[in-house]
Structure formats: C-alpha cells, structure tokens
Copies of this chain bind each other. A is one copy, B any other.
Amino acid sequence: MGEAEQAEQPRRRARGGGGAARRASRSAVSFETARFIERNIPNLDILHDEALEIIETNVETVLEEIGVMFVENPAALERWRAAGADVKGERVHIPRGLARELVKTAPSKFTQIARNRARDVEIGGNSLVLAPVYGPPFVTDLKGGRRYATMADFEMFVKLGYMSKWLHHSGGTVCEPTDVPVNKRHLDMLYAHMTLSDKPYMGSVTDPSRAVDSVEMSKILFGADVVAENTVMTSLININSPLTFDSTMMGALEVYAEAGQASIISPFIVGGAMAPVSVAGTLTQCLAEGLAGVAYSQLVKAGSPAIMGAMVTSIDMNSGAPTFGTPETSQITYGMGQLTRRLGLPYRSSGSFTGAKIPDAQAGYETANSLNMGLLSGVNFMLHSCGWLEGGLASSPEKFVLDADQLGALHKIAEGVAVDENAQAMGALREVGPGGHFLGCEHTQDNYQSAFWRSGVLDYKPYETWAEDGSRSSFELAALKVDKMLSEYQQPALDPAINEALQAYIADKKAAMPDAFI
C-alpha cells in the first residue's frame, strides 16, 4: 500500500464503513512502488571466453600504449603519477594491470538510500534498478507537440516517476528546464526530486560547485550524519569518448567520491563516430574508458561507490544519425555486461531508447529491444528506462507511462519460474482433463490475481469495443493515463522544517549569483 492510500484511510473511515469503504478502497489512489529487481534468471553471455580475453588484453594495450587524457586537471595527473602511471603532458599511460588492480577497492554492490527508506535500492550483484530518462532539452507530448522543456515539465516528470509503480528511482535531469538560468536550475531540479518524490535521486554534475550544492542539499534532507555514512546520490559522470576525461565531469566525480557518493562513469558512444565501427573495437574502447574512470574514482577515494557505464548506440551511415534499439547495440550491451561482471563492478546500460519522434510503432520496437537487452545483459542501473524519445532530444510524458508500464514485464520475467507444488498445477490438470477448460477450476480461482502481469495502459479490448471508444492508439491512451495520474498526484509528506531549510539554501544560493543562460 502506498503513502497516498495510507493518507486516505482516516477520511475513508470517517465517511463510514461497509459498502462505501469498499468502494473507496477500490477507487483509492495507490502510489505503490515495486522493490528493485533481483534477477532469478541467468544473463545472456554472447561472448565466449576467448573473445573476452582478447578484448581484455587489447584494453590493457590501449591504456598503456595509447593512454587516456585528463584535461585541465593537474591534480588528476598527480594522482595518476603517484599511482604509477606514465604521464606525458595531459595523457596518462596506465601500465598493464594497474587500472584492473585499482578498481578492486570499488564495492561490487552498494545501497543507495531514499528518504522513504522502503525505497532504498541495492546496486550491483543480481539487482536491476530502474531510473527515468535523463537530459533531453525538449518535451514532446500529444497536446503540445515538441517544445523546449521547462521547470513545469520537469516537475511533471518527477510526479509521474513518483507515481510509477515499476520505477525505483526518481533520476536526475528528467528534462532540461530551459526557463531557469543554467547556473541555478540544478537547485530547482534537486528540490523537485527531494520534495515531489521520496524515491532515490541523482546529483548535479554540470559543475563541481553544483555537485557541492547537491551534497549540501542532501545533508539538509537526510541529515549530515546520514550523508556521511550512506550513499544518498548516484550521479552521472560522462566520459568524452574517445578516451578523454574533462575537468568539469572529473571535478564533479571528485566531489562525489570524496563525499562517499556514487558515480556512474560512462561514455555515451555513437559507434563509428566516437568509437570504432566494429562491436569488438567499441567494447575495447568502452572497457578501457570505464576502467580508467572507475580506477580514477578509487584514486580520489578508495572504496567510493562507482558504476561501470556503457551507453552505446550505432550510427546510420547514410545520414550520420545515431540509431537505437539496433542489433549491434544489443551485442555491445551484452558484451559489456560480461566484461563488467568479470571485474565485479556494478553495470549501467540500456534504457527506453528510440530514434522515433513520437511514441509510435518504431518507438515500441526499438524501446522493447533495448529493455529486453538491458534485463538479459545483467544491467544493475538502467538510466533512461522510461520517457526517452527522439534519440534523447525529447522527453515524452506519454512515452514515460508506456515505458514505465513495460518495466513491469521486466520484473515478472526476472522472477524466474516457480516449480513448487502449487505452480506444478497437477491437481488442475487432473481436475480438468482432456477437452475441459481451466477458467473455473479451483487452481485458477486461487491463483488468477497474481498469475499474469497486466498492463496498466495498453489496450486489451475486443476490436468492436476499442472502435466504439474512439479507435485510440497507444499514444492517445497514454495521454489519458498521464492526465489521470497527474490529477491524482499527492505530494509525499516532508518535515516542514526541512522544506524551509531547503528553500532557504536555494534562496541564498540564487541571490549570490547573477543569472547565466550559457
């Protein structure tokens, strides 16, 4: 039972018991959130051992002979030099085996806590944590079409995420609120995650000072002692592929690692442009980058939580456009899962990826391809798991609810197959026998409510009923669902003193800086 439902109960009781209470119970808003996925099924290992060893050997060659760049970051170069790397200018040549040795201090699994502790997530091992779309400057919806995203849109996505049962994490930049100054928007974004939801969230990475703000605001929300002893943020540190680590992202990483907060260290590779055009070549680069990045996080603070990331797409060689839900991306995602597990690190990849401009059939195919590969490649943290449209240029509320609904199917598949006596159903088979039917049998009556996952937004009606109801596409059905969800939204309770302290922190920070829009 979710918070909203609990909050409703006294009112329902006041209205009287019996039939009225039962009707209220049936219509009560439930903001239930599922526990993060713990896979009870195997991963799909598409690379054989020899292929893994070839790639791992090549990775060491890349790190030693080609090296990686740490740009405008003398402290980073000093850390690498002290660790035994051969630093030439800003290029760091990492001796064979050093990065692999350094990442051993990173935890294979860690817990990110939420202010609603029932929503803590474990990241690593056989877990899968689902977080929403991150980064789009545009919003596309059925009513308004495509437009620049605003803070109102941002708040809407946080609300949808809070109400989505199968989404474990509130995420970070669910869209880029372009109506708020660049140097201040992170404050409003964090405040939205902290107050409109009670799920775990991500910190700002666009400047080291904004990472500091994220830590400070988290101390207000959780208490400084809690932040000192727990991971309360998992933030997205991007690598500039190929093989380059810039000072903005590394500055944010340093803040988070020193505060014991988690970072996803991840390239966003368009294969053929920012990495070789081959799967094995891209895997080599991707692993080299991830190893160098996670190793660096351990140089900053050994034991700080880090996630090996792989956000890889292919490219349409006709137009140069990035493409999504494609087979090469699946191969890379499966392969990086294997390589990351061999290192014992948590793995970030996959998402609700599509190049489609609207939530149409293309969006469905490409997204489902991506979500399935994410589940089966052993991803532990799936950013972009719902709401992604147009190659990440747009967030879509309709796609958000359609994707978030599909995430329910991942939970069910991951459960694996029960073979206890009830699941074996031999009694039902005997009772019904040849030519009978199972709808009325005792086993069906006992199990039907939990037997099958059911979509909360897709259409299961007969054709005639669907046509009478207006022949609505999924896009239209999802728009109705978005409206319904937002009309039922209720803010989770928060200590007013904490809320005021957050507001005061934000007001002080905003007053201290002139607005900047670049």
A contact residues vs B (CB 8 Å cutoff): 41-42, 44-47, 50-51, 54-55, 58, 61-62, 65-69, 91, 146, 240, 242-244, 271-285, 314-321, 323, 325-328, 330-331, 335, 355-369, 372-373, 376, 390, 393-394, 399, 402, 406, 409-413, 416-419, 422-426, 428-430, 432-439, 443-444, 447-449, 451-455, 458-463, 466-467, 471, 473-475, 478
Contact = CB atoms under 8 A, between A and B. Distances in A.
A451 B284 contact: no
Given A46-B41, A146-B463, A452 B376 contact: no
A425 B413 CA distance: 36
A437 to B, nearest CB: 6
A242 B367 contact: no
The 6 closest A-B pairs by CB, nearest first: A364-B364, A281-B425, A368-B368, A327-B412, A276-B425, A361-B474
Contacts of A413: 327, 330-331
A199 to B, nearest CB: 23
A141 to B, nearest CB: 14
Contacts of A443: 276-278, 281
Contact of A42 (B46, B51, B284, B325): B46
16 contacts: A66-B434, A242-B434, A242-B435, A242-B438, A272-B444, A277-B443, A278-B424, A285-B429, A316-B452, A318-B454, A327-B411, A328-B452, A357-B459, A361-B399, A361-B474, A362-B458
Nearest to A457: B362
A471 B54 CA distance: 46
Contact of A326 (B321, B325, B327, B452): B452
Nearest to A70: B434
Nearest to A441: B276
B430 A358 contact: no
Contacts of A390: 463
Contacts of A330: 413
Nearest to A367: B365
Given A276-B429, A328-B453, A473 B369 contact: no
Nearest to A50: B419
A334 B283 CA distance: 28
A318 B123 CA distance: 35
Given A277-B438, A281-B424, A360-B364, 16 more contacts: A42-B46, A44-B376, A51-B419, A54-B419, A272-B451, A273-B438, A278-B447, A280-B425, A281-B429, A326-B452, A328-B412, A357-B463, A362-B458, A365-B402, A365-B406, A366-B458
Given A393-B463, A452-B317, A460-B323, A284 B376 contact: no
Contacts of A419: 47, 50-51, 54-55, 280
A432 B284 CA distance: 14
A279 B417 contact: yes
A91 B435 CA distance: 11
A359 to B, nearest CB: 5
A434 B361 contact: no
* Most chain B beta-carbon neighbours within 10 Å: one of A67, A444, A455, A460: A460
Contacts of A360: 360-361, 364, 473-475
Given A45-B42, A242-B436, A430-B65, A461 B280 contact: no
A344 to B, nearest CB: 22
Given A47-B417, A433-B243, A451 B277 contact: yes
A423 B272 contact: no
A220 to B, nearest CB: 39
Contacts of A357: 459, 463, 466-467, 471
B54 A424 contact: yes
Nearest to A62: B429
A458 B355 contact: yes
Contact of A423 (B275, B280, B359): B280
A272 to B, nearest CB: 6
Contact of A364 (B284, B363, B412): B363
A186 to B, nearest CB: 26
Contact of A438 (B274, B361, B412, B467): B274
B42 A276 contact: no
Given A280-B418, A369-B368, A422-B278, A429 B46 contact: no
Contact of A434 (B67, B271, B462): B67
Contacts of A65: 430
Contacts of A50: 419
